[in-house]
Structure 1
Amino acid sequence: MQNFFHVDAASPLKTKVLTSALSLFVEKGYFNTSIPDLVKHSGVSTGTIYKHFGDKQGLANSLMECLVEELYQQEMAIVESTTGTKARYRALVFWIMQFSLDYPDVMSFILYARHKDYLPNSSHICSSKPFMILRDIIQQGIESQEVRRMDEMVAASLAFGSVLRMVQLHLDGLLEKPLMAYLDELTESAWRAIENPIKT
């Protein structure tokens, strides 16, 4: 598994703590992870954790902010390098599935962690920038008539809900084949559910 966080030259210790927090929050859950657990896992002192993050909730908030921003940047790079809703859709689905293979802890944290339980003042993950990009791509498809006119939330759910569910099945070890073996059938089936058969 690759390391998701780029080493912060100004504070490599901060990067180590974020990496440990991600791993432990996925493995044990937020509430079952203590500051001593983080110290032991990261090799960073208690003082360093409090200096950079304030407390465990501050650490969780920083972790979420870092994840959301990195996901957003990766998605924007895909959007800017492709044209047309179908091409962008397929590229984003490929990215979601490959990302799940490269960074299973990140995807598990995004899909399974009950963020509002310990970050009550944060926005719901589904209203964060990365998820909004997915919805915006479908909305743009409706406007360009590549996607048939329907409620954009329904269309986005049809387009990406099945993909995220397949990722969950992969993370749970329930797929009979490798995740990428489902890419073509999944994208074509989901696209057929939303495409405009008579583009004008």
Structure 2
Amino acid sequence: MYMSIDRKKNTKTKILDAAFSVFAENGYQDTTISDIVSKSGLSKGAIYHHYGSKKELFISLIDHWEIFSFPNFYSKDNAQESASNALLRFTEVVYDAFKLNSNVFLAEIEFWALANKDPEIKKRSKVLYDKILKLFELVLKKGIRNGEFEDMDTKIVSIELLSVFQGINWFCLFNEDKALAGKYLKKSINIILDGIKKRS
């Protein structure tokens, strides 16, 4: 009997969520498939049905991390939204993700550590970050076209935005008051917006 698409998707999500938590807690080298089995409540066979190895599972987490942490905020559904509001809304979404599961951001530290040792992980990580920066650039260019923002080097400002989102979340991982992340993110993004907005 074939597994339904929804059930298959739910199983993979359960595996990936468990893997995020275990990798963040133990690190890549000290994590075993058995650890993920225990955390997910699934069988080892169920995990190997979807992922052939620990490395394959870890690489899949890169895409899962993007969906969880940096949802596509530049979509047709929000075509009429101002660029400023898009960035402020995105700030709220990232903060909500941080509150829901900060382990996702801890796991990112593992991505970077392994990217320096494994060319495949480095390549996949670069594709992800290039995609995120491109999304920021699209929003910034929209703001320039609409007269919201001054002309700017959108690539540099995109890097600045990404650095703020990641830097503040990483800093706040080690603080028990998760509300600080939301406060710092909003303040920092508003400072950037104030610096690039078009003056009359």
Please report the TM-score for the alignment, with normalisation by the length of structure 1: 0.77
**Gap regions ≥5 residues in structure 1:** 1-6
Between the aligned partners of 1:99 and 1:196, the Cα distance in structure 2 is 31
* Aligned-pair Cα RMSD in Å: 3.1
Deviates more, 1:118-127 or 1:20-29: 118-127
Within 5 Å, which residues of 2 pair with 1:139-158? Answer: 139-158=141-160
In structure 2, distance between residues paired with 1:71 and 1:133:
14
Counterpart in the other structure of 1:3: none
The amino acid that maps onto 2:130 is S
Moved more, 148-157 or 10-19: 10-19
Q: Which structure 2 segments of 5+ residues have no match?
A: none
Displacement of 1:76: 4.2
2:36 aligns to what? 38
Q: Which residue of 2 aligns with 1:16?
A: 14
For 2:75 and 2:174, the matched residues in 1 are separated by 29
Give the TM-score, by structure 2 length: 0.77
Task: Give the total of aligned pairs.
Answer: 191
* Percentage of pairs with the same residue: 20
Q: 1:82 to 1:99 in 2, by over 3 A?
A: farther
- Say which structure is richer in helix: 2
Is residue 132 from structure 1 mapped to residue 130 from structure 2 by the alignment?
no
Q: Indicate how the Cα distance of structure 1 residues 78 and 166 shifts in structure 2: closer, same or farther if over 3 A, else same.
A: farther
The answer (yes or no) to whether the contact 1:49–1:55 under 8 Å persists in 2 is no
3-state SS, counterpart of residue 10 of structure 1 = helix
Judge conservation of contact 2:33–2:44 (CA < 8 Å) in 1. yes
Give the superposition deviation at 1:98: 2.3
Moved over 6 A (4+): 174-177
